């Protein structure tokens, strides 16, 4: 087999973070190459480089033997390399034919479209992929997801694509649709093309890939051919390596009453998958961690609890009473607080001083009549800031000027001042540097010390293991748990996240 | 297998415009009963004649809206390029040369709009709002604030004609057909809609999105000049305050009434035509009923709000 693409000694830094360190990747013609690794191992960065969306700091790329420079998406496309992305880049309001030919329209003179020929060609192309049932005149937005992906593949083939990069292509598909897609993938690889397949679903990866390259912390750890002897366990072992425990401060508080209980809740993820039978509870003074791989539905679960997303069944009890939560206003009135993943966008009013951001949700308690008691506001702001190791001068700064860690503190202080009994954190340390992460963890623990119930939704296993009193896992089989603190180590948790073992905890 | 439930072109067109067509019929029925003068050959011709200017502006706007943008500066461009042409006319520049210069000025305004929007990645709303003010100012400065009268005979003959129904509506219809052809049948038209549908996707397949973006504002600028010629021929004068209030608003409202969207990605030229007719019929009908200009503005505004609400309801379904 000839080598189609060869990436050598690639390096890429983002700020101080080493995303890729001397990474190599070889893709041969006709192979379905599985690129594996944990969240943040460097898979996406590597593929973004190959597609011209990111420029490497160092390293070399060869395509069919000759060295190439890929600086923009058009360069990669000219070389036959393209991504079939997770969020499909198709235009909903246009037809299948129009999407397939976008940028490559067949025209007579003066740019007049030859619509008949394009339509026929589109049908032939889809037919050759075993998908002749897709109507070339249908609007893309009305097709099922798998068919949309097939259209995206057809488009790449038409554009002379040889290397197809597919990032989590099956995450939104049903089993049947997945089979249909796999058939198409095998067809195109049989013709001397190659597919780079990125997926967290290890069963699928084992089923379809001919070779694996595994990354960890931005480095190559293994490159192995697939075969009957390769197991899921092997892949996981390569992906997580030897775990080093990180220190997370943890203050165990005496847990009180159940403040939040969720019974048989079901909801739909943004990719349209239904998650059923979610059962868990949070006591006052307790930290509950809910984890799982990216895209499995953690954020959607937190949104369902906050009334931002409709539940499709089940009940939510707050302090023992069943509550119907249809909107965030209701959620807040019932004692739920929410710290979103997108602090800058949704959590903070960036142009306001930190102090005003802190008191935004609890102004009712610091007013006399309609006038805010400014001196009192400042006093309690400074008080909370000092408890969280935040410098007093930051209190008067505009929120936009603070670092990510300090912004997170402001949002947390707002929740501490508020009346919430239960505070939900969605990815609390995302985008925060390592030092500040431990501090946020300490913060969360201190909140639990105030007899608040804390619920963390996070993709970072170490964070979850470090701060949680109890852990639940969302994986492709459903909602698993509880696991008490100390029940799980890193490897066991990852195994559950990948759906490798279903051992239920105590 | 293919095209299992494909409808004829006429059937699909009727589906898409059913609401607008019904509204147009209802409006006409209403005014026919409300005023004995409304439903006459003369008035119908008059409505068509008065629709020409709005129609031409709307056609340009369909391109801009389809690309996901908006152009607020068309009314000012109409006034300014008219002043330029008229100044050249009265200084003895040959008619055709003067018209070409005015067209170049209109295209230039569109070019600047497009360049600023695409190069600095700014909101079309604010850029063209600023342009609205700048160009209106220029029109007042160049004209000294006064209308310029006395258009050349050849110019009047071509754009106004001397029959009951002016030549304007035929020019407008010609431009409408050309626009429909470009948007439906050419590569450029596909890119305009693709740009409005998803700028990122369009960029990633290697389309020069900035060129497309600039082009739609140029088209809009060109349409403003053509509308300006009709306006001047109708008045036998160039007005620095032409297109100040309702014209540019109607240019945006008519396409939206006809099913085009402020979000971009759609280009319904026929919708814009129907939208223009609805607004013209309402204005004419209210005139016939003796409703004053000031109240008409209130009525037009209400129609626009109603159309936008209907549009958002339609999108939710």
| B contacts of A138 (beta carbons < 8 Å) | none
> Which of A127-131, A500-504, B37-41, B70-74 is predicted most confidently?
B70-74
Residues of chain A whose beta carbon is less than 8 angstroms from a beta carbon of chain B are 73-74, 77, 89-94, 98, 102-105, 107, 110-113, 115, 123, 132-133, 135-137, 155, 159
Separation of alpha carbons A282 and A452, rounded Å: 10
Sequence-separated (6 or more) residues with CB below 8 Å from residue A255: A283, A284, A285, A286, A469
pLDDT, one tens digit per residue, over A309-344 is: 888 888 888 888 888 888 888 888 888 888 877 666
Separation of alpha carbons A28 and A210, rounded Å: 10
pLDDT, one tens digit per residue, over B128-153 is: 999 999 999 999 999 999 999 989 98
Q: Are β-strands A219-225 and A321-323 bridged in parallel, bridged antiparallel, or unpaired? A: unpaired
pLDDT, one tens digit per residue, over B254-289 is: 999 998 888 888 899 999 999 999 999 999 999 989
Query: Which of B3, B6, B266 comes nearest A93 by C-beta?
Result: B266
Chain B's closest residue to A124, CA to CA, is B2
Q: How far is CA A154 from the centre of its chain?
A: 27
Contact A104 B205 (CB under 8 A): yes
Exposed, middle or buried: residue B113 (CB in 10 Å: 0-12, 13-18, 19+)? Answer: buried
What is the SS3 assignment for A64?
coil
Check residue A201 and give its pLDDT: 79
Query: Which of B6, B186, B200 comes nearest A89 by C-beta?
Result: B200
Going by pLDDT thresholds of 50, 70 and 90, the confidence category of residue B1 is very low
The C-alpha of A111 sits at a distance from chain B's nearest C-alpha, in angstroms, of 5
> Which of A147-151, A241-245, A464-468 is predicted most confidently?
A147-151
Which of A5, A6, A12, A167 shows the shortest CA–CA distance to A83? A167
Check residue A132 and give its pLDDT: 85
**Which one of B190, B202, B259, B260 would you mutate to disrupt binding with A, by most A Cβ within 10 Å of its Cβ?**
B190
Average pLDDT over residues A284-305: 86
Q: Are β-strands A470-475 and A287-291 bridged in parallel, bridged antiparallel, or unpaired? A: parallel
Contact B201 A73 (CB under 8 A): no
Check residue B262 and give its pLDDT: 86
Going by pLDDT thresholds of 50, 70 and 90, the confidence category of residue B104 is very high
Chain A's closest residue to B261, CA to CA, is A93
**Phi, psi torsion values for A473, nearest 5 degrees:** -125, 135
Task: Check CB contact of B211 with chain A, cutoff 8 Å.
Answer: no
Q: How far is CA B98 from the centre of its chain?
A: 23
Rounded to a whole number, what is the distance in angstroms from the first to the last CA of chain B? 28
Q: Give me the helices (H) in A42-166, please.
A: 43-50, 73-78, 96-101, 115-128, 145-158
Query: Which of B190, B197, B204 comes nearest A113 by C-beta?
Result: B190
Contact A92 B185 (CB under 8 A): no
Query: Which of B3, B206, B266 comes nearest A137 by C-beta?
Result: B3
Contact B186 A112 (CB under 8 A): yes
* pTM (predicted TM-score): 0.69
| B contacts of A70 (beta carbons < 8 Å) | none
Asked whether the predicted pLDDT for residue A490 surpasses 90, the reply is no
Asked whether the predicted pLDDT for residue B97 surpasses 80, the reply is yes
pLDDT, one tens digit per residue, over B67-94 is: 999 999 999 999 999 999 999 999 999 9
Contact A136 B204 (CB under 8 A): no
The C-alpha of B258 sits at a distance from chain A's nearest C-alpha, in angstroms, of 17
Per the model's pLDDT, the better-predicted residue between A373 and B280 turns out to be B280
Check residue B306 and give its pLDDT: 86
Query: Which of A113, A123, A136 comes nearest B185 by C-beta?
Result: A113
The enclosing H or E element of B96 equals: helix B95-119
- Judged by average pLDDT, the poorest of A172-176, A394-398, B50-54, B139-143 is A172-176
Check residue A190 and give its pLDDT: 85
Contact A93 B190 (CB under 8 A): no
Check residue A433 and give its pLDDT: 57
| B contacts of A104 (beta carbons < 8 Å) | 205
pLDDT, one tens digit per residue, over A155-208 is: 888 888 889 998 888 877 777 888 888 988 998 888 888 999 988 778 888 999
| B contacts of A73 (beta carbons < 8 Å) | 203-204, 206
Contact B193 A93 (CB under 8 A): yes
Is the Cβ–Cβ distance between B256 and B308 less than 8 Å? yes
Per the model's pLDDT, the better-predicted residue between B295 and A74 turns out to be B295
Average pLDDT, chain B: 89
Check residue A412 and give its pLDDT: 80
Check residue B277 and give its pLDDT: 95
**Which one of A70, A91, A107, A108 would you mutate to disrupt binding with B, by most B Cβ within 10 Å of its Cβ?**
A91
Which of B120, B99, B109, B103 shows the shortest CA–CA distance to B71? B109
Is the Cβ–Cβ distance between A334 and A421 less than 8 Å? no
| B contacts of A74 (beta carbons < 8 Å) | 206
The 3 state secondary structure assigned to A65-78 is CEEECCCCHHHHHH
Q: Are β-strands A58-63 and A453-458 bridged in parallel, bridged antiparallel, or unpaired? A: unpaired
Check residue B167 and give its pLDDT: 85
Interface of B with A in 248-287 (CB under 8 A): 265-266
Separation of alpha carbons A486 and A465, rounded Å: 8
Asked whether the predicted pLDDT for residue A373 surpasses 60, the reply is yes
Provide DSSP, B48-70. Answer: HHHHHHHHHHHHHHHHHHHTT--
Per the model's pLDDT, the better-predicted residue between B4 and A304 turns out to be A304
Query: Which of B187, B188, B201 comes nearest A89 by C-beta?
Result: B201
Check residue B122 and give its pLDDT: 93
Chain A's closest residue to B198, CA to CA, is A91
The 3 state secondary structure assigned to B202-219 is HHHCCCCHHHHHHHHHHH
Task: Check CB contact of B136 with chain A, cutoff 8 Å.
Answer: no
Is the Cβ–Cβ distance between B292 and B313 less than 8 Å? no
Residue A101's alpha-carbon distances to A189, A357, B3, in angstroms, are 22, 49, 19
| A contacts of B262 (beta carbons < 8 Å) | none
pLDDT, one tens digit per residue, over A47-74 is: 989 988 888 999 999 998 889 999 888 8
Percent of all residues in chain A with a pLDDT value above 90, rounded to a whole number:
10
| A contacts of B15 (beta carbons < 8 Å) | none
Check residue A500 and give its pLDDT: 65
B24-53 burial by CB neighbour count: b if 16+ within 10 A, else e?
Answer: beebbeebeeebeebeeeebeebbbbbbbb
A and B: number of Cβ contacts within 8 A: 71
Asked whether the predicted pLDDT for residue A504 surpasses 50, the reply is no
Per the model's pLDDT, the better-predicted residue between B9 and A446 turns out to be A446
Average pLDDT, chain A: 82
Going by pLDDT thresholds of 50, 70 and 90, the confidence category of residue B63 is very high
């Amino acid at each position: 087999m000839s080598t189609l693409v060869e990436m050598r000694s690639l390096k890429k830094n983002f700020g101080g973070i080493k995303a890729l360190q001397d990474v190599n990747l070889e893709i041969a013609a006709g192979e379905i190459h599985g690129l594996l690794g944990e969240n943040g191992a460097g898979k996406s960065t590597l593929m973004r480089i190959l597609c011209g969306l990111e420029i490497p700091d160092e390293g070399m790329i060869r395509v069919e033997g000759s060295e190439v420079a890929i600086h923009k998406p058009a360069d990669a496309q000219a070389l036959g390399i393209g991504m079939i992305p997770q969020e499909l880049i198709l235009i909903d309001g246009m037809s299948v034919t129009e999407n397939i030919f976008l940028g490559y329209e067949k025209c007579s003179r003066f740019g007049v479209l030859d619509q008949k020929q394009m339509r026929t060609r589109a049908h032939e192309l889809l037919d050759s992929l075993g998908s002749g049932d897709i109507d070339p005149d249908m609007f893309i937005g009305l097709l099922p997801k798998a068919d949309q992906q097939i259209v995206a593949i057809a488009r790449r083939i038409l554009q002379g694509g040889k290397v197809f990069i597919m990032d989590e292509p099956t995450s939104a598909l049903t089993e049947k649709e997945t089979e249909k897609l796999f058939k198409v993938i095998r067809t195109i690889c049989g013709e001397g093309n190659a597919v780079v397949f990125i997926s967290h679903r290890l069963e699928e990866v084992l089923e379809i890939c001919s070779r694996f390259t595994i990354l960890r912390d931005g480095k190559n750890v293994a490159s192995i051919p697939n075969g009957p002897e390769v197991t899921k366990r092997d892949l996981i072992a390569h992906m997580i390596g030897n775990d080093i425990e990180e220190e997370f401060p943890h203050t165990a508080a005496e847990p009180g009453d159940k403040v939040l209980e969720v019974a048989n809740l079901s909801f739909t993820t943004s990719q349209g998958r239904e998650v059923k039978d979610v059962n868990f509870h949070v006591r006052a003074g307790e930290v509950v961690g809910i984890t799982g791989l990216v895209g499995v539905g953690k954020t959607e679960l937190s949104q369902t609890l906050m009334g931002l997303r409709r539940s499709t069944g089940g009940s939510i009890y707050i302090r023992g009473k069943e509550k119907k939560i249809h909107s965030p206003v209701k959620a807040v009135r019932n004692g739920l607080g929410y710290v979103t993943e997108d602090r800058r966008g949704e959590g903070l009013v960036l142009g306001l001083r930190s102090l005003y951001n802190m008191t935004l949700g609890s102004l009712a308690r610091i007013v006399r009549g309609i006038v805010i008691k400014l001196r009192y506001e400042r006093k309690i702001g400074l008080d909370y800031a000092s408890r969280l190791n935040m410098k007093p001068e930051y209190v008067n700064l505009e929120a936009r000027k603070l670092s990510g860690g300090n912004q997170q503190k402001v949002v947390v202080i707002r929740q501490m001042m508020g009346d919430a009994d239960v505070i939900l954190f969605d990815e609390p340390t995302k985008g925060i540097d390592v030092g500040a992460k431990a501090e946020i963890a300490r913060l969360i623990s201190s909140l639990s010390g105030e007899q608040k119930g804390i619920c963390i939704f996070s993709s970072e296993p170490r964070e979850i293991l470090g701060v949680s009193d109890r852990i639940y896992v969302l994986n492709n089989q459903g909602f698993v748990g509880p696991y008490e603190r100390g029940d799980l180590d890193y490897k066991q948790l990852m195994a559950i996240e990948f759906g490798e073992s279903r051992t239920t905890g105590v | 297998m293919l095209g299992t439930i494909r409808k004829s072109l006429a059937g699909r067109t009727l589906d898409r415009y059913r609401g607008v067509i019904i509204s147009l019929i209802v409006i006409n029925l209403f005014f026919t009963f409300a005023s004995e003068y409304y439903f006459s050959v003369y008035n119908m011709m008059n409505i068509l004649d008065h629709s020409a200017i709005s129609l031409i502006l709307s056609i340009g706007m369909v391109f801009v809206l389809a690309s996901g943008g908006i152009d607020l500066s068309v009314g000012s461009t109409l006034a300014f390029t008219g002043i330029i042409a008229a100044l050249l006319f009265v200084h003895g520049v040959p008619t055709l040369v003067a018209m070409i210069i005015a067209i170049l000025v209109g295209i230039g305004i569109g070019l600047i709009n497009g360049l600023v929007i695409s190069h600095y990645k700014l909101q079309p709303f604010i850029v063209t709002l600023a342009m609205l003010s700048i160009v209106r100012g220029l029109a007042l400065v160049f004209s000294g604030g006064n209308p310029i009268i006395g258009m050349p005979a050849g110019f009047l003959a071509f754009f106004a004609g001397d029959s009951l129904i002016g030549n304007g509506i035929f020019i407008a219809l010609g431009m409408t057909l050309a626009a429909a052809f470009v948007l439906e049948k050419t590569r450029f038209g596909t890119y305009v809609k693709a740009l409005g549908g998803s700028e990122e996707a369009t960029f990633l397949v290697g389309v020069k999105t900035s060129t497309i973006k600039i082009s739609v504002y140029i088209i809009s600028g060109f349409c403003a000049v053509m509308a300006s010629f009709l306006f001047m021929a109708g008045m036998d004068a160039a007005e620095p305050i032409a297109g100040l209030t309702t014209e540019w608003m109607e240019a945006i409202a008519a396409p939206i009434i006809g099913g085009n969207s402020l979000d971009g990605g759609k280009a319904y030229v026929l919708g814009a035509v129907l939208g223009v007719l609805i607004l013209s019929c309402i204005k004419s009908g209210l005139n016939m009923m003796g409703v004053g200009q000031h109240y008409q503005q209130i009525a037009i505004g209400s129609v626009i709000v109603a159309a936008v609400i209907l549009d958002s309801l339609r999108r939710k379904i």
